[in-house]
Chains A and B, each alone.
Chain A
Amino acid sequence: MAAIELDRVSRIYQKYSSRHRFQTFKSAIVKGSLFGSLKPDELVRAVDDVSFSVEKGQTFGLIGENGSGKSTILKMVAGIAKPSSGRILVTGKVSALIELGAGFHPEISGRENVYINGIMLGLSKKEIARKFDEIVRFAELEDFIEAPVKTYSSGMYMRLGFSIAINVNPEVLLIDEVLAVGDAAFVPKCLDRIDDFRRRKKTILFVSHDLSTVAKICNTVAWMKNGKIRMIDEPKRVVDAYMQDVTEAQEAEFRERKEEAAAAVVAVPAPPPAAEGPASARLEQGPAAEAAVTAAPAEAPAPAAEPPAAAEEGRREQRWGKREVEIRRVVLRNGQGEEKHVFRPGETMVIDMDIAAREPVKDFVFGLAVFNSMGVLCYGTNTRLEEFESVAFSGEGRVVCRIESLPLINGTYYLDLAAHKRDGYPYDYHRNMYSFLVSSMIRDEGVARLDHAWEFSPEIKIKSPAK
């Protein structure tokens, strides 16, 4: 039996233009168009011809970028908004965790607010009285329940709101991204409660941006884009397809940014070596970071050319060196040779450089360094450190560095690439001119992902992640 059924549902939002937003009553009367001006002048299709049904006892996830219509669907299922066309059938009592603590009155006590909020959510006084202790205990507010809600912290506020809503004990629970605001201790508690709902065969409609939670708890997931459903399928597939789409969007954005950055760097010609010292905190890392790339063995004096002060304070990207050996073009590729800027951990990343020498050189080293968004050097190496010996190079050539399995965590990374002499004298140094994104559903932490595997002896009952 379907607990929630949407049949060709559309929701058109009336967008009142600025022309008569906060329009005055006087002017409406004067124009003689009191009712005319109440007509919307632009229509926005927030939800466009959406059909799906959720069987009783199932957990149905909705994912999609902001503004794709997820919350509108939730509001329509909750009955707060009406569909402009189409039909929605909901069987059973609905409780919506759309905004926690909506309707709390700041001046009155937590106790009174529990009653009022409970009644708003459709409980009777008796039911609330029966569940009151449980609500307060779950919210961990035993000591504060008599205090006015205005004295609560935002966390306390949210906990109380969640606790009331979850205790409404609905047949159908609608959850809209409410877990995003909880603290580290409360969120697992809420998830436990949601699990408990699932065990008791209640229907859940779950909207979230937390894809790993969606993949974990949902039976079916729908991916929405621009008000339409792009895909309904089992969670893993939908999440993957969605990630793919997001990645493509990020790619496009990166390409754009890179072009901008390249244009900006060209606009700032190689700065004079007379540096006025580190110009910003970011730059103070310069010598150390550079050392990682040019790092010559200790005996080398490494008078590494001072990284010049940025022409523009705080600028991340810089380029210096006289370009006797020039890095002309840098392309990041995946294992298949496609140009990319967004990578999954463990994916192959290929750094492909076109190099040109103005005159034949015998002394050259190629280096690279990877920084994360905090400016921490994740890894740096060069051909000299790895004991390649330069022999000769003239004309044009190509240097490729292949990272077979990218051992990085979620985040944005910046690349330093350099061609320099053994003693550190830079031919062409590219500071942070290239960036890429590592996108992962796993929220592990640190500087790098160490290649690892878990093993458990049979006594330890543990479920491996769904693959």
Chain B
Amino acid sequence: MKLIANLQEVYKHRLLIRTLVGRELKARYRGTVLGFFWSFFNPFLLMVVYTVVFGFILKPRDPTLGEGPWMYALYLFAGILPWTWFSSSLNDSANVLMVNGNLIKKILFPAEVLPIVSVTSNFIHFLFGLPILLIFLFVFGKPPTVYLLLLPAVLLVQFVFSLGFSLLLSALTVHFRDIKDILSNLLTFWFFSTPIVYSLGMLEHSPALRAVLDLNPMTHIIGGYHDCLFFGQMIHWKRLGVTLIVSLVLFVIGYAVFDRLRDSFPEEV
């Protein structure tokens, strides 16, 4: 099958992927004072803003989040960090083929390496921020539980989902340049359609809205993070399982579109 052959080809280029991810991360921190703390600092600032607005001004109503704005801040942080990985992956992927146009035109390698590198380098970025989140949780009385061991499952689902979406986006953006602009709007909308600044518990009065949010794969992925990191409880296997299947389908479609358009990249980027 074409997909398997393609994946084998990508696997052959794993050293290239690793090197490009390394380059991406190095280049990102090169010339910055805070270095890799930036991977933590951006979500941290976002968290501060949301904590002030939603924690102090609007006051959360969900008692499961625990008492006080600090608990709410941790809840926020546990959602924003993976969301940042997701949204930056998509933003980077939408540009990645154009930015690396000279590579695609001049050097022989499978082009899907580039969106893979986008998703992976943002993933590493996310991993850098993760210990800081864990320390915060520990300090504010949420020590790690055994359910933390299920985190890799959540990471995997998000990785597949992000990658499928990235492949689709990167290939289509070559032909439709305005996808980048649509994407930034879409991501804002998507952010608020995902229980990050609020919790699903706040939606019990509105089953309709709840049902709509359940259609959003990111709801279940971010929910997985909340379960593993914040609540310290079992993840929803069924929901996450379905999300994984959806992610795989998206991946296959995204890859197929990418493959179909592949030959046009050297001329169009």
Contacts and interface: CB of A to CB of B under 8 A. Distances in A.
Interface of A: 13-14, 16, 22-26, 28, 37-38, 40, 75, 78-82, 94, 96, 98-99, 102-103, 105, 107-108, 112, 115-116, 119-121, 124-125, 148
Interface string B52-95: 00000000000000000000000000000000000000000000
Given A80-B107, A102-B102, A121-B107, A28 B30 contact: no
A80 B266 contact: yes
Contacts of B108: 78-80, 94, 96
B179 A25 contact: yes
B23 interface: yes
Nearest to B109: A120
Given A13-B267, A119-B19, A108 B175 contact: no
Nearest to A115: B19
B176 A25 contact: yes
Contacts, number: 80
Contacts of A80: 105-108, 266
Nearest to B179: A25
The 10 A-B pairs of least Cβ separation, nearest first, read A25-B176, A102-B106, A99-B106, A107-B27, A79-B108, A24-B178, A107-B30, A103-B103, A102-B102, A119-B19
Interface of B: 15-16, 19-20, 23, 26-27, 30-31, 100, 102-103, 105-109, 172, 175-179, 182, 261, 263-264, 266-268
A102 B107 contact: yes
22 contacts: A14-B264, A25-B179, A80-B105, A80-B266, A81-B263, A94-B108, A96-B106, A96-B107, A99-B102, A103-B106, A105-B23, A105-B27, A107-B27, A107-B30, A107-B31, A108-B26, A116-B20, A120-B107, A120-B109, A124-B15, A125-B15, A148-B30
A178 to B, nearest CB: 11
A37 B172 CA distance: 12
B23 A112 contact: yes
A98 B106 CA distance: 6
A86 to B, nearest CB: 15
Nearest to A100: B106
A203 to B, nearest CB: 17
A291 B267 CA distance: 57
B10 to A, nearest CB: 14
Given A38-B264, A40-B264, A103-B106, 8 more contacts: A25-B176, A79-B108, A80-B106, A94-B108, A103-B102, A105-B23, A112-B26, A120-B103
Contacts of A107: 26-27, 30-31
A108 B30 contact: yes
B107 A103 contact: yes
A40 B102 CA distance: 22
Contacts of B266: 75, 80-81
Contacts of A96: 106-108
Contacts of B102: 99, 102-103
A24 B268 contact: no
A74 B109 CA distance: 16
A214 to B, nearest CB: 22
